[in-house]
Structure 1
Amino acid sequence: MTITATAPRAAAYRGKLRWWTELPLIAVVYALYSGARLLVRGDVDDAVEHGADILHFEQLTHLDPERWFNQLLTHHAFLGVPADFAYASLHYVVTPSILVWLWLRRPTHYRVARTWLLVSTLIGLIGFTLVPTAPPRLLPGAHGFMDTMAQYGSYGWWGTDASAPRGLGHLTNEYAAMPSLHVGWSLWCGIMLFRYGRHRAVRALGILYPLTTAFVVMGTANHYLMDAAAGVATMGVGFLLARPALRLVDRTQLKVRGRSAPQQPVTIASAGASSAQPPVTVPSGGAPARAHDLTAREAGGAGKVPSPRARPTGHDDPDAGGTSEVGRGERSRMS
């Protein structure tokens, strides 16, 4: 049997999804994401120390391409300006667009994909809370990083506070670099495009988009390589937890519906019963009375109802060992 034969039809499956429940759910998780970045600022000294420790570890392992990427964007505006626009906008445009695309074109896969994204985002919030981290652009000047968002701020709507619009920098948490959900969300988008896209160009975009995002976040000095790796790991854990989370939600919904469902009585109408005789009512979930018990009640004591297990007499069964004339005659002929 093919997959298309067993999978539910897209139109029928979409009927089980409700936009008036999906939009508030996504809005609540995004509000938690933004609110946690704002409220959980942590200590600035600890955040700078965490950032310096990450950079030192990368230098020891020779896995520190951030500085080279940053110099490339700093010295070449034709690369730096598009990178700044990409960092400030794509994160908030591409991800919702792919959610809508899945809703419309791949509804049978939407629910798992949406749960994967939401669970991973919540895990990222835990990282922001436990490990406040200063990005490379906020490290002391001796480390040699340049804030390209500030350098090319006259080209866009952002100010000197990362991608926040001018005058709204106080509404963002600049010390939420670990993990990089820019990279994590772009990886999710890339997998959705590569897996469910039908054209080669769409699948190629699914490969290029997360790679480009990783380059942008490091080149603009907003994330370390380890932040990007942590974003990938976060999406991996979210993927493993998505289906168990859905099963837990489904079981909870079934229990709630079972408790709230009213107990309807079941009426058993006896065949051949008088119209004046009331029907037998059995509570829902209970065992109905046996058929011969109902027949005995209907007889009203007029006679005993024969047991269905009663054995036939010798007159009825020629093979029985009784004293009927037929039986004796048969044995005399045989002898």
Structure 2
Amino acid sequence: MSDSTVTEPEGREKAAVPRPVTGEAARGPLGRLRGPRRPRLWFEILLIAVSYWTYSLIRNAVPEQRGAALRNADWIWRVEHGAGVAVEQSVNHAVNSVTWLIVGMNYYYATLHFVITLGVLVWLYRWHPGRYAATRLVLFATTGVALVGYYLFPLAPPRLMRGGHFVDTVMVHHTWGSMASGDLKHMSNQYAAMPSMHIGWSLWCGLTVFALATVPWVRVLALLYPALTLLVIVATANHFWLDAVGGVLCLAFGLSAARVWYGALPHALPRRVPAPAPEPAPAAAQAPSP
């Protein structure tokens, strides 16, 4: 993305200064933590690596309660049928009939979840350093609360349901690199489908870019990304529609956490943080008058 993509009108920049983190609140260690500050590259790389490792460790350490996960999947399927929205099987079979399309969606599911999320973080770090920490907090809080869902509500994806008649597109088309295929499936908890972090993360990416970019086609693509992700997770039989609702609720929690901590939503914070002004030199001692 070019510099023109993120350049904002002067009036918008002035209106973006959050009140709760300035003035008296900005004094002291806690006040400094709650105010916009310049990210440090080495710290961000380390933080993201350690955080994702911790998330994966905890997610995969959640007991794979197969029996409960299958019962919950049957319950979700009945609820969706009762609500008249149980169209996952039709979408799965229709898209699977077009080989190149479903294979492309398999690779989309396996890769873009990470690539685009990291790309948005890099974009924020480069072009919106003042908003980076708050937006990163949204992502981390969204992901953290998802772990609670994985523990409290183990859920089998549609492709693993008993008698669900879904096509496991990854296995059928031998998609390489997916955490649901081959030996890699043993490295990931297969019954952690609720909430869907593919939706949580893609919606975080989409809303972040839509709120901060100024080029119209970039903003349109930002909104299309989570919509396309929703189609992909359903077509590949990796999630129910209701898993996506869970991902949206997790993102709402993440936005609320950032709002409480920073006193403003990330897009309302200043785009850049000015360098701290040097402290004035102490006044020279005056010679005593005779």
- Common topology (TM > 0.5): yes
TM-score with structure 2 length normalisation? 0.78
CA 169–19 in structure 1, closer or farther in 2 if over 3 Å, else same = same
Determine whether 1:235 maps to 2:251.
yes
Q: Distance in 2 between matches of 1:43 and 1:167?
A: 20
Determine whether 1:81 maps to 2:103.
yes
Shift of 1:243: 3.1
Q: Residue 55 of structure 1 aligns to a residue in which SS?
A: helix
2:135 pairs, out of 87, 91, 113, with 113
CA deviations on 1:250-297 (whole Å, 9 max, x unpaired) are xxxxxxxxxxxxxxxx9xx797389xxxxxxxxxxxxxxxxxxxxxxx
Q: Distance in 2 between matches of 1:183 and 1:70?
A: 18
CA 127–190 in structure 1, closer or farther in 2 if over 3 Å, else same = same
Determine whether 1:145 maps to 2:166.
yes
Q: Residue 41 of structure 1 aligns to a residue in which SS?
A: coil
- Number of the residue aligned with 1:304: none
CA 184–6 in structure 1, closer or farther in 2 if over 3 Å, else same = closer
Q: Distance in 2 between matches of 1:109 and 1:15?
A: 8
CA deviations on 1:141-183 (whole Å, 9 max, x unpaired) are x221110111111xx4136x62x5x422211110000000001
Q: Distance in 1 between matches of 2:15 and 2:227?
A: 35
2:191 pairs, out of 157, 175, 189, with 175
- Number of the residue aligned with 2:26: none
CA deviations on 1:12-62 (whole Å, 9 max, x unpaired) are x99822112212222222112211221103321011111111111101111
Q: Is the 8 A contact 1:119 1:241 kept in 2?
A: yes
- Number of the residue aligned with 2:6: none
Q: Is the 8 A contact 1:26 1:118 kept in 2?
A: no
Q: Distance in 1 between matches of 2:14 and 2:223?
A: 30
Corresponding letter in the other structure for 1:2: G
CA 246–2 in structure 1, closer or farther in 2 if over 3 Å, else same = closer
Shift of 1:198: 2.2
Shift of 1:200: 1.7
Alignment of 1:5-16 (within 5 A): 5=14, 16=38
Determine whether 1:222 maps to 2:238.
yes
Q: Residue 272 of structure 1 aligns to a residue in which SS?
A: coil
Q: Residue 183 of structure 2 aligns to a residue in which SS?
A: coil
Q: Is the 8 A contact 1:73 1:148 kept in 2?
A: no
Q: Is the 8 A contact 1:115 1:246 kept in 2?
A: no
Computing the radius of gyration over CA atoms, which structure comes out larger, 1 or 2? 1
- Number of the residue aligned with 2:27: none
Query: Which fold has the larger relative contact order, with Cα–Cα distance below 8 Å and residues 6 or more apart in sequence?
Result: 2
The runs of at least 4 aligned residues of structure 1 exceeding 6 Å deviation read none
1:38 pairs, out of 57, 60, 84, with 60
CA deviations on 1:299-323 (whole Å, 9 max, x unpaired) are xxxxxxxxxxxxxxxxxxxxxxxxx
- Number of the residue aligned with 2:177: 158
- Number of the residue aligned with 1:136: 158
Shift of 1:92: 1.0
Corresponding letter in the other structure for 2:185: G
Aligned-residue CA RMSD (Å): 2.6
TM-score with structure 1 length normalisation? 0.68
Which sections of structure 2, spanning at least 5 residues, go unmatched? 1-9, 18-34, 264-281
Determine whether 1:52 maps to 2:74.
yes
Q: Distance in 1 between matches of 2:289 and 2:50?
A: 60
Corresponding letter in the other structure for 1:20: W
- Number of the residue aligned with 1:192: 208
Q: Residue 86 of structure 2 aligns to a residue in which SS?
A: coil
CA 209–270 in structure 1, closer or farther in 2 if over 3 Å, else same = closer
CA 6–212 in structure 1, closer or farther in 2 if over 3 Å, else same = closer
Corresponding letter in the other structure for 2:69: A
Percent sequence identity over aligned pairs: 36
Q: Is the 8 A contact 1:137 1:221 kept in 2?
A: yes
Q: Is the 8 A contact 1:29 1:122 kept in 2?
A: no
Q: Distance in 1 between matches of 2:44 and 2:111?
A: 23
- Number of the residue aligned with 1:4: 13
Q: Distance in 1 between matches of 2:176 and 2:64?
A: 27
Q: Residue 237 of structure 2 aligns to a residue in which SS?
A: coil
Q: Distance in 1 between matches of 2:137 and 2:177?
A: 31
Q: Is the 8 A contact 2:142 2:254 kept in 1?
A: yes
Q: Is the 8 A contact 1:120 1:238 kept in 2?
A: yes
Q: Is the 8 A contact 2:65 2:191 kept in 1?
A: no
